[in-house]
Amino acid sequence: MNINSWPPRQAERRSCRPAKGIGVQLALGSAIVAMAFATAAYAEASKTEVSKQELQAKMAYCQVCHGASGQGFRGYYPIPRLAGQQPEYFQNQLQAFVEHRRTNNIMFNVAHVLSPTMLTALATNFKNFDPKPLGGAPKDLMAAGKKIYEEGIAAADVPACASCHGPQAKGDGQFPRLAGQLNDYIFNKLTNWTKERGQNPSNPDASSIMEPIAHNLTKSQIEAVAAYVSNLE
C-alpha cells in the first residue's frame, strides 16, 4: 500500500483483507477442537466403571499415606484410618475437600482429580478392609470414654456418641465409623473443628452437626472418648 496515498484505492483495500476462506477455516478448526474436548469430557463423565489397573494404582497411591490396609499411620502428624469407613461418609468428605467445605490442601489436590466412579470404587474397597486398630491410646482413659460414648454428658448438652455412630462405633451412612480410628487424629479433629470445617456457611458440610458437640466437650473428655473408640474393632 502507498503510504502517501489515503484513503487507499479499492484494489489496495482488498489486498489488506485476509484471504477468502481463512476465517471459515479458523472457525472450523476451533469447532473441531471444542468437539474433541467435549467428547473426552463426556466419555469421562459417562464411565460406569474403572479398570482393575486404574483402581489398583489409585489404591496404592492412597495406601502410601493411609497404610497398606488403610489402618492409618502415625508420622509427623496422624493420618486417619480409612479401613471399614462408611462409603457415603467417605465420598461426602472427599467432595467436601473439593468444594472447600472442609479445608485441607493436600486432600484437595488428591480429591479434585477423582471421577465419581473412582470415588465410589475407592470407598467400596476401603470399606472392605478390616485390619486391627493401631492402638496406642492411654488405656486408663477408656472407662471414662466409654461412659461418654454410651451416655453423653447431659450437663454439657452432649448426646451419646452411640446415638449416631452406633453402639460399636461402626457408623452408618453419613455418620462415620470411629472404631479403630487413631486417637490422636480424633483429638486433633475435635479440638480444631471450626478451623478445618464449615468454611462455606452457604454450603455446610454434612458433619456440621458435630460443631456444637465438639465445642462443648473439654479436651480431657475428647481424649477419653478418642481413647475408647480407637481400641474398638
Query: Is the CATH number of domain 52-127 1.10.760.10?
Result: yes
On the question of a cis peptide bond just before residue 7, with omega within 30 degrees of 0, the verdict is yes
Domains 52-127 and 139-195+208-230 share a fold: yes
Q: Which residues contact 189 (CB under 8 A, 6 or more apart)?
A: 196
Cell of 14: 482488498
Per-residue pLDDT tens listing for the chain (233 residues): 444 444 444 444 444 444 445 444 434 444 443 444 444 444 444 456 899 999 999 999 999 999 999 999 998 899 999 999 999 999 999 999 998 888 899 999 999 999 999 999 999 999 999 999 999 999 999 999 999 999 999 999 999 999 999 999 999 999 999 999 999 999 999 999 888 886 677 777 778 889 999 999 999 999 999 999 999 99
Residue 61 neighbours by CB distance under 10 Å:
12
Single-letter code of the amino acid located at 26: L
Fold classification of 139-195+208-230 (topology level): Cytochrome Bc1 Complex; Chain D, domain 2 (1.10.760)
First and final C-alpha spacing in the chain:
86
pTM of the model as a whole = 0.77
